[in-house]
Amino acid sequence: MNADWQDIAALGLVTIAGAYLARRLYRFARRRSAGCGSCAACPADDNPNEKSMVSVESLVETAGGKENRP
């Protein structure tokens, strides 16, 4: 096999890029499967069924659109 330095450099770069993409995919898949609140860095809410909601009236007042309503 007669490979000059450019072929070896190109194969090295492709190998490094493939390893980088494989590592990113592994870390992405591992992070997604853990879920929110599974570690101490991001504590889960005490009651996951309770959702905080913002009333429409407060949004309209904040946007200044109350005087524009009929």
Global confidence as pTM? 0.43
pLDDT tens sequence across 27-50 = 888 775 445 555 666 655 555 566
**Residue holding tokens 């007042």?**
61
Average pLDDT score over the chain: 76
Q: Can you tell me the distance from the alpha carbon of 56 to that of 14, in angstroms, rounded to the nearest whole number? A: 54
* Residue indicated by tokens 């429409």: 56
